[in-house]
Structure 1
Amino acid sequence: MEKIVEIKNVSMNYHTLDRETVALKDLSFEVYKGEIVVIVGPSGCGKSTILSIISGLIKPSSGEVIVNGKPVSGTNKTIGYMFQKDHLFEWRNILKNVLIGLEIQNKLNEETKARTEKLLEMYGLGEFKNYYPSQLSGGMRQRVALIRTLAIKPELLLLDEPFSALDYQTRLAVADDIGRILKKEEKTAIMVTHDISEAISSKWLLFR
C-alpha cells in the first residue's frame, strides 16, 4: 500500500518564561492511502499538536514528518484541515462558503464550481445552497465544513475533534455520516478525539 504519512520520532516541547512543557515525545506512526485513522486521548495530551505538525503549521522540536514522500517544511495545499468549529462565514450563503477554499487557491472556475455543487447535491445539501449558516442545524453545518474541505481535492484530511460542538446523539450521527462520505470519496484521513465512546461507536474509524 502507498504510504501517505510518516511520523518519525517526533517530539514537541512548548516553552514559557517559567518552564518547558513536553507535548509529544518520540512519536512514530504511519498512515497508508485510503485509511481513516483515529487518535484518542484526553484534552491537553497533544492530539491537536500532532495535526498542526503534520499540516506544517508548527515545526516539531525534533523528529521528521513526511507527507506524500516529501518532508514537511511548511503548509501544504494537498492537505485539508477540518477544525472543531465549522468556521462558516455567516454573511456568505452555503455555496459561497464551500467555494472559499477554491477562491483562496485561485482554482475557482466553472468546472470546479460545478464539481462542488455536485458534492452538495450528493450529500443532501443541494437544496440548501442558497441558505445561510444560521438557517442550518449544527450537523448540517459540519457537513458543509467537510464539503468545503473536500472541494479543494485534498490528498489528506486532518479532522480536529470535528464533532465536539454537537450534542451527543447528533455527534454520533454526524460522525457516521461523515465517515460514509470519506469512504465514498476514498480519502485518507487522520482524526483526533477525546471521546472514547464516540470513537468506538464510529464504525468507520480504523485504529492503529
Structure 2
Amino acid sequence: MESQSIMKIRNISMTYHTLDGEIETLKNIDLDVNKGDIITIVGPSGCGKSTLLSIIAGLVNPSKGEVFINDKKVNGTNKDIGYMFQRDHLFEWRTIMGNVLIGLEIQDKVTDEKKKFAEKLLDTYGLEDFKNNYPNQLSGGMRQRVALIRTLAIEPEILLLDEPFSALDYQTRLAIADEIGTILKKEGKTALMVTHDIAEAMSV
C-alpha cells in the first residue's frame, strides 16, 4: 500500500513567527495520495490550506515533516507538479495559445510535438476556435479552462489546485468545477484541491 502512493505527506507542521509570537498553521499532517486520486481538502480561510500546497510544491519549507513524490523527498520546486492558483494569471497581451505555452517556454520544452499536444487539449476542451484570441475576449469560466490547459500542457504527474474557482460567481464556479473535475478524470491526472466551499468540493 505504502509503495502505491505517488505522494506521501509525513508529519507536516508549519509555524510562522510574528511580532506577536508564534502562529501554528499546520500540525502533524499525514496524507497518502495514490495515482489517479482527486482529493479535495475543505476548510475556512486562514486554516493553512494554501500553505500545505506551497509546501508540497516545494515553494515553502515546513517547520517539521517531509513530503515525498514518487518516493523522492521534495526539496525545492518539482517539474512533476503543476500548480493552478486562485486567479488564472493569464497574460492579457498574449494570445490564448501563447498563454498555454508559457509553462513549456519556462522549462525550455517547446517542440512541435508539445505544441500539437497543447492544440489538442484546446480542441478537446472547446477552445480551439479561441486560440488566437486574447484573455479579455473570454468568459471567466473559459479563462479558468485555459489556466488548467496551461498546467496540463507541461504534463505534470500531480496537479495542485488552490481555490481555482474563487474569482468566479457562484453558479459559474460550480459549473466549471464540475467541468474541470471531468477533464482531470479524462486525462487520468492525480490532483489535490483546496477550497472553503463544500458544494464546490463535491462538484469536482
TM-score range, shorter chain: over 0.9
Could you say which residue in structure 2 is the equivalent of 1:62? 64
Q: Which amino acid aligns with 1:37?
A: I
Q: Which one of 30, 39, 42 corresponds to residue 32 of structure 2?
A: 30
Could you say which residue in structure 1 is the equivalent of 2:106? 104
User: Structure 1 unaligned runs (5+)?
Assistant: none
Q: CA deviation at 1:198?
A: 1.7
Could you say which residue in structure 1 is the equivalent of 2:149? 147
User: Structure 2 unaligned runs (5+)?
Assistant: none
Distance 2:63 2:98 in 1: 39
Q: Which amino acid aligns with 1:121?
A: D
Q: CA RMSD in A?
A: 0.8
**1:94 is the counterpart of 2:96:** yes
TM-score, with structure 1 as normaliser: 0.95
Could you say which residue in structure 1 is the equivalent of 2:186? 184
Q: CA deviation at 1:18?
A: 2.5
Tell me, what secondary structure is at the counterpart of 1:118? helix
Distance 1:198 1:78 in 2: 26
> Contact 2:174–2:199 at 8 Å: present in 1 too?
no
Equivalences for 1:7-46 in 2 at 5 Å?
7-46=9-48
Distance 1:115 1:188 in 2: 19
Distance 2:6 2:160 in 1: 12
Q: CA deviation at 1:197?
A: 2.1
Identity of aligned residues (%): 71
Q: Which amino acid aligns with 1:187?
A: K
Equivalences for 1:75-94 in 2 at 5 Å?
75-94=77-96
TM-score, with structure 2 as normaliser: 0.97
Distance 1:12 1:152 in 2: 29
Q: Which one of 65, 70, 73 corresponds to residue 71 of structure 1?
A: 73
